[in-house]
Amino acid sequence: MFGHDFQPAPGTFRPGAIGEARCRIKHNYALMPPEGVMPSLLPQWRDTVVRFLAGPVLGAQFGQVMLEIEGSGGTRQPLNDGLQHFYYLFDGALTLSSEATGTVDMTPGSFVFLPAGETHEVRTTDGAPARLMDIRKPYFAVEGIDTPPAIVSHRDQLEKINHNGTIGRTWEHMLPFGDLRYDFEVNILSFEPGANFPEIETHINEHGLVMLEGQGMYLLGSDWHEVWQEDFIWMGAYCPQFFYPTGWTRSAYMLYKNVNRDTVFTHQVR
Ligand code: UGY
Ligand code: MN
């Protein structure tokens, strides 16, 4: 009998909270199903619950949060933390305003990239709640390379590209692929049933992954994990990784990746 077969009395819980928990935090990866990510508040956001997914305390070089904004919520005052921001709207309707973008009406699937230090404000538009993902990162400037311009777009406008010709796979690039002004990518990777990676990846780049559709088995380090819609995964540098979709529907995830920059040395090398 499985824990989910028990019918608990109102106000009580099923057995199995420990045995069935999928959450794992390891030195170079984390799997965090959404039900275990507790709510926080932040002074700069009004009537908004913040779910912290990745940040430096985890070992990540970037931050990722899900903002659950009530109908009356939004930024309390113009926000400027000196970081780059990538906002993606999951649900609801919002306006985002900044000098670089003007006032943008966001609907589910809309995304906005703001370069470092761009002051901005966010408001709900129809008084209904919204869910907004925010990826933040300090900009890694390189002499001779221009800083990246802001981007306003929608998932509907993205081309589906198959980079390596493997059957049943596509990439949607939300930031321009191969444009050296940007120091990170956010891509949507899709897998038809039966498709998988051509090999186990091990690379210096880290990832923040949100499952958008479907389900599958993720190899992280040397451990296999079953994952599905709404799960979050952080993969640190050099974490071996591989994905098999399972079930009969397409699986897709949104993936942050730091790119286009050299190794950072924190100690003097002689
Ligand atoms: O581009 C990537 O690094 C990607 N293929 N990794 C991943 O999906 N875990
Ligand atoms: Mn990868």
Of 214, 253, 249, 250, the C-alpha closest to 232 is 253
* The pLDDT of residue 5: 85
Listed in sequence order, the residues at least 6 apart from 67 whose beta carbon sits closer than 8 Å to its beta carbon are: 45, 48, 49, 50, 51, 130, 131, 132, 133, 134
pLDDT in tens, 125-184: 989 999 999 999 999 999 999 999 999 999 999 999 999 888 999 999 999 999 999 999
| pLDDT value at 222 more than 80 | yes
Domain boundaries, the chain: 16-139+153-258
* The pLDDT of residue 2: 77
Q: Is 255 in the pocket of ligand 1 (CB under 6 A)?
A: yes
Task: Tell the CATH topology of 16-139+153-258.
Answer: Jelly Rolls (2.60.120)
pLDDT in tens, 57-112: 999 999 999 999 999 999 999 999 999 999 999 999 999 999 999 999 999 999 99
CB of 215 closer than 8 Å to CB of 229: yes
Give distance in angstroms: CA of 30 to centre of ligand 1. Answer: 16
* The pLDDT of residue 1: 77
Greatest Cα pair distance in the chain: 66
Mutate to test the pocket of ligand 1, among 201, 202, 220, 235 (most ligand atoms within 8 A of CB): 201
Q: Is 169 in the pocket of ligand 1 (CB under 6 A)?
A: no
Task: Quote the strand ranges of the chain, DSSP E.
Answer: 24-25, 29-32, 45-54, 63-75, 84-91, 94-98, 102-106, 110-114, 120-124, 130-137, 151-154, 169-173, 184-191, 207-213, 215-220, 223-228, 232-235, 241-246, 251-258
Closest ligand to residue 189's CA = 1
Mean pLDDT, the chain, whole residue set: 95
| pLDDT value at 12 more than 70 | yes
